[in-house]
């Protein structure tokens, strides 16, 4: 194997899609279910995401249900996506586990099946300090020098955010090319308190810090970042691509106006009580919304994340109907091809 990954930071452009794990709808999913993943739909979803404009696909984050899949399921799912994509765009396989050894074992299997990189958080049973976080990524990148890494900086899942000094150290590892940066930036926090801007300076262009599309016009205007991550692409791909086109054309006011008028994420989608309340039941809410938007058959969430208040599901289905309207307003490429 080579000493550097095939994918570099310059290869991460446009919209990086976070694909949900597609769960079967032809059976009842319960605590004893095996082989719960709809592999045909996984392959179809990956194909249409690429054809509709995704520039990379990332697997097995939160609503990708990393925490609730069996080992066989995650391997079969990843293989179905890799084989469907056929090297058209990079695929980052979800390798995060609770420990270094198992993560390395999974990563080795992903490399053998043809994944280009790893979607990599860190151990989450207890918080890791800065030294431990750096060592975690060092161990894995040294083991797989030819695989690119997409950092997964979810402060809730991993108990704390990646700090600016850690970003500075991670930028020395050429395998780390991009990061799913923390959701929903607040301008005063981003600038006044030195979060995104400090992290951006620390990585020195060696890691592309991706926000979701709702924050993309801001970071493109201020920092020139030419890529974002998106889960909403699974609900309204044509809209997300229209935002992409506006941002990359420098029409940032138009992009922001589109975002301001969209139903994503929607005030009702976030429960009262702030971020902590949002994170409860978010897997069910996200998968329900994606499934009922009709573009990808995400299927139900897997245990134990299938239990949630009924109103979360009701709200997700209500917003999915608005997402369907966005699909009509901003038709995606594969829909137009089907009509033609």
Catalytic residue numbers? 180
- Short-list 281, 235, 282, CA closest to 262: 235
Q: Rounded CA gap, 266 and 316, in Å?
A: 10
Q: At what angle do helices 71-85 and 39-51 cross, to 10 degrees?
A: 40
Q: Is 248 helix (H, G, I), strand (E, B) or coil?
A: helix
b/e burial code for range 195-233 (CB count within 10 A of at least 16 → b): bbbbbbebbeebbbbbbbbbbbbbbbeebebbbbbbbbb
Q: Is 148 exposed, middle or buried (0-12, 13-18, 19+ CB in 10 A)?
A: buried
* Residue pair 117/148 in contact by the 8 Å Cβ criterion: yes
What does the alpha-carbon distance between residue 143 and residue 298 come to, in Å, rounded to a whole number?
A: 33
Nearest Cα to Cα of residue 96 among 147, 132, 20, 149: 149
- Identify the bridge partners of residue 94 per DSSP, sorted by sequence position: 119
b (16+ CB within 10 A) / e for 287-316: bbbbbbbebbbbbbbbeebbebeeebbebb
Per-residue DSSP letters for 153-190?
--TTTTSSPPPHHHHHHHTT-TTEEEEEPPSS--HIII
Residue 47's nearest CA partner among 240, 283, 334 is 334
What is the total residue count of the chain?
340
């Amino acid at each position: 194997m080579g000493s550097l990954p095939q994918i570099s930071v310059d290869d991460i452009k446009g919209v990086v899609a976070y694909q949900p794990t597609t769960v079967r709808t032809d059976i009842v999913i319960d605590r004893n279910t095996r082989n719960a993943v709809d592999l045909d739909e996984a392959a179809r979803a990956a194909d249409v995401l690429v054809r509709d404009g995704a520039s990379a696909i990332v697997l097995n984050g939160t609503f990708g249900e990393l925490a609730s899949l069996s080992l066989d399921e995650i391997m079969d799912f990843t293989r179905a996506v890799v084989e469907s994509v056929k090297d058209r765009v990079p695929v980052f396989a979800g390798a995060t586990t609770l420990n270094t050894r198992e993560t390395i074992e999974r990563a080795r299997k992903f490399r053998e099946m043809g994944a280009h990189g790893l979607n990599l958080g860190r151990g989450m049973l207890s918080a890791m300090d800065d030294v431990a976080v750096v060592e975690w990524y060092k161990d894995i990148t040294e083991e797989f020098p030819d695989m690119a890494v997409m950092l997964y900086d979810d402060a809730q899942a991993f108990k704390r955010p990646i700090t600016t000094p850690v970003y500075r150290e991670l930028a020395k590892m050429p395998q780390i090319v991009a990061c799913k940066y923390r959701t929903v930036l607040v301008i005063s926090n981003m600038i006044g308190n030195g979060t995104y801007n400090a992290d951006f300076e620390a990585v020195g262009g060696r890691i592309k810090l991706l926000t979701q599309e709702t924050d993309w016009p801001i970071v493109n205007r201020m920092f020139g970042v030419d890529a974002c991550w998106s889960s909403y692409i699974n609900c309204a791909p044509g809209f997300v691509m229209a935002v992409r086109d506006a941002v990359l054309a420098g029409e940032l006011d138009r992009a922001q106006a589109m975002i301001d008028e969209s139903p994503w994420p929607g005030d009702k989608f976030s429960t009262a009580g702030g971020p902590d309340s949002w994170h409860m039941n978010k897997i069910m809410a996200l998968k329900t919304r994606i499934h009922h938007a009709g573009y990808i058959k995400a299927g139900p969430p897997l245990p134990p994340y299938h239990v949630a208040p009924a109103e979360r599901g009701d709200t997700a289905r209500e917003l999915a109907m608005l997402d369907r309207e966005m699909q009509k307003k901003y038709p995606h490429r594969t829909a137009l091809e089907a009509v033609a």
